[in-house]
Structure 1
Amino acid sequence: MPLPISQIRAALEDGLLSFPVTDMDHQGRFRADTYADRIEWFVSQGVSAVFVAGGTGEFFSLSAEEYTQVVQTATQTVAGKVPVISSAGRSIPEAIAFAKIAEKAGIDALLLMPPYLTDAPQSGIFQYARTILENTSLPVIYYNRSNGVLSADYIRQLADACPNLIGIKDGTSNMQELNMIIRTVGDRLSYIGGAPTAEIISEAYLSIGVNTYSSAVFNFVPELANLFYASMRAGDTATVTSILQTFFIPFIQLRSRNKGYAVSLIKAGARIIGKEAGDVRAPLVMPTAAEVSELERIIQNGLQLLQ
């Protein structure tokens, strides 16, 4: 049975969130056994909520059958310890179908991804989101990103029209627009930082009342991710600056070398620490051997801060 909305929102508003990578074998097939181990490890490391089959989890490349396996494995493994949130999106029929799969699996809430590829007017994006929200019984977090960005006024309209909209995940890094949404809609919704490697702008998020964000690097340096989050919330500027300079800025510079590395480097990092998850699927590519070596150095430098 899904968790109460109050518990889901509490987890979204206070604590570090993360998206586990999706485990694949050498033939690119989903591995439920190692994925269950990964999810269990996430929970043991103190993650506030687990977002499965998200962007880092390659939702865009999963079949309906694989998605079913992912959400079933996640809910059975977590067993109500923390909220489990899965993605929906692509076309409206696909999004509704994925939402039904999630409902049946006992997922606690959905993250509604942007529509696939096509640019569209605000009115069309609003109707896309509203149609999907009205066709699921689950609470929904809207991912305001890419070709699915809604303005403050449209977010307010969506919140008014759909009682099951409970949150906004920001993927724009546009603090002005996000602050306008927060001041327009208020505490009707929960707000989550969701820009790639959100740690780099976490202080800006915090300054406008966004207390949580999703950490992709939790997949391979959870202790460091937790230390950074705790330091940021405590106002420990010295520790925040040290971790940013030593780990996050070099990581972001490496991530910026190729499209899709926001996902590919996470799988490479998981491999480096001995938690193999296979390669990313095309059209993404894995980093080169030289880039993997550089990532190893970045991880080692970051972990030294824990000593």
Structure 2
Amino acid sequence: MTVSKFLKTGLVVAASLWAGQALAWGQQGTALVGELAQRQLTPEAKAEALRLLSQIKQSDFAVVANWAGNLEKNPQNQVLWENTRNQLNVVYKRDDCTFQQTRDCPDGACTVAAIEHNRDALADPKAPSQTRLMALLFLIHHSSDASSPLNNSFKADRGGYDYPVQAGAKTYNLRQVWDDFLLGAARLDVKAYADKLQKDLPAADSSNPAQWSQQACRIVRDDGIYPQKATGKRKLPSKQSVDDDDTGGSDYSAKTLAYNRTGKEYNRGDKLMNEQSASAGGIDARYMSTFVPLAERQVQLASVRLAQLLNAALIAGRPAS
């Protein structure tokens, strides 16, 4: 299928938005990275980004940020999804957290290589506008991926999906905590949360996506984000997400999706901010208070890194007037 058929209208993007779990920070966090990055673009880069997005009748990075992570939700995008699904993380083969292309990114199937490839496409003034648009969409999402700890891990638990943790009387997986609960605890919509995080943005630390991934990997290794596992008798939820009012394995409810989008609905994360754990480890108020600031800082870093990349690539690839 041609690029034009993928991106003929904004409906392709809109249909994917909030349609399911993305693979970095959940839906809200990825949208936050896009929103914050767009606010940091130079006027010239912002104008070029808007020109590209106008092809799909969109104007906000927050709206299109989850497109690359939700390609599998649209039957028309299955081939593209199969070709890019392994570009959403870096699976380190050792706990040294030192990115090695041949070892950790075989055949270019990792986030680092995807960012480099799409950066080159976006910066190519000879590339068609539709090609550059698709590169922009991938870059927004992949920059979130490269800064998300569980997307850059050496542990054999599928980025936390296979690591059960206990919160209160329920069992979740660690990925849910990092994708949903940490940022969900603020009960803010994307625009309001971006207003908060924009006040204290860090300086750009590197323009090298391999270094972004390495920094995220070191959080997994060094910062204690893995709490004590739930007891061996407790099984992981049968679905990826469990609603707090359920007793078992329901998937995302419309209520949970609405919360992530608007900040006005219920989410498990805000309850955990006040929950005291009866046993060592687990997800409780102490865990949340420790790692919500870290998660917010990684979102901020991702946005700064993305903005720096786009400010250069959007202008470099701008067609001559």
Larger Rg: 2
Q: Which structure features the higher share of strand residues?
A: 1
Question: Which structure is richer in relative contact order (CA contacts within 8 A, separation 6 or more)?
Answer: 2
TM-score normalised according to structure 2 size? 0.28
TM-score normalised according to structure 1 size? 0.29
